[in-house]
Structure 1
């Protein structure tokens, strides 16, 4: 267990990893586009997470327990940073796999979103048991065989991780001369 004087480190790590993702995007697509992508991913994820907290939408029913930084719509900003890091990391991995694939535009976009979503769920499978069981940043109101994390959380992660990348694929493709 972390000593109490290091409690701040988790949130700082998530925000710093988000900053690294922003720097990557700025180098790849320019500062304005990177800021737009950052606001879109962070805003969309916080909004959907707020629906999860309020209505149990997508991820199952849960509440944020510990102070995990400032909140927007009942969701810690740190969660937006976590989603941003996951989405951009998944994006980089998916684009790396698809680099040599010659697919029609629509098929390419869907394949990219599916591969990206699979990577996001794999990361979620590793992150959530620590955040939920060890750190207790949130509490689920349900059971499951996987650390008592409802399976709806992972299907919700897949769906949100599909929606965001497909929108990014369209946005980046329409505004970037070369998509690979």
Structure 2
């Protein structure tokens, strides 16, 4: 193999490993910062910034950008924000809930970073399940279940740190059914659109989020 190619490969490996490590460290720091009442307001303020940094690093390591991937990125963001706007105002999709101030700038009552969060979760779970030895429909179902399972641990954290609030602070079954429906639509687009399903950072970002919400949900 050409020595220059080997050198570039090693450099790329070091780069994505650094990015993955950075994401793990920032999420662990977030756990500590949110767990302590003294530092909590600062880390709540930084939550949207963390999501923005996470998606930037994720996109930097996506391989082979094409029109299909750009469409998926835009579609997931717009659908995520749009369905949340419908959900907040109609109370039909997920139940009765309102967003707090932690997640930052809102449009029609919904923080724009929610669209980023829908993309991150959909993309990461899709990447993880793309390596499974099943057909596209089964892969999309596995990824959908992973998203809903993570939401189960997100909910108590979201309520405690003013991400969003449910009526009587009780998460309805409708929320998880709504997640199943919306997530599966997104995952069907993921598996059938012709773009690269490889990203070395995606697995680590999803692991970081699982650890983040699993630990915080056990202590809030």
Bin the TM-score by the shorter chain: 0.7 to 0.9
Q: Does 1:81 align with 2:103?
A: no
In the TM superposition, what are the counterparts of 1:1-180 in structure 2 within 5 Å?
1=37, 2-25=39-62, 27=63, 29-30=64-65, 32-96=67-131, 98=132, 100-101=133-134, 108-132=135-159, 134-141=160-167, 148-172=170-194, 176=195
In structure 1, list runs of 5 or more residues that go unmatched: 102-107
Spell out, residue by residue over 1:65-84, the C-alpha distance to the aligned partner (whole angstroms, 9 max, x if none).
Answer: 22522223421011111111
Which structure would you say has the larger Rg? 2
Contact 2:47 2:102 in 1 (8 A): no
Instruction: Report if aligned partners of 1:46, 1:73 keep a CA contact under 8 Å in 2.
Output: no
Corresponding pairs, count? 161
Gaps of 5+ in 2: 1-36, 199-220
Contact 1:22-1:34 at 8 Å conserved across structures: no
The alpha-carbon distance between structure 1 residues 23 and 33, as it changes in their structure 2 partners (threshold 3 A), is farther
Alpha-carbon distance, 1:43 to partner: 0.6
Q: Please tell me whether the aligned partners of residues 22 and 38 of structure 1 are also in contact (alpha carbons under 8 angstroms).
A: no
Taking the aligned partners of 2:61 and 2:86, their CA distance within structure 1 comes to: 30
Q: TM-score, normalised by structure 1?
A: 0.78
2:94·2:175 contact (CA, 8 Å) conserved in 1?
yes
Aligned CA-pair RMSD: 2.2
Return the offset for 1:36.
2.5
Helix, strand or coil: the match of 1:82? helix
Regions of 4+ moved over 6 Å = none
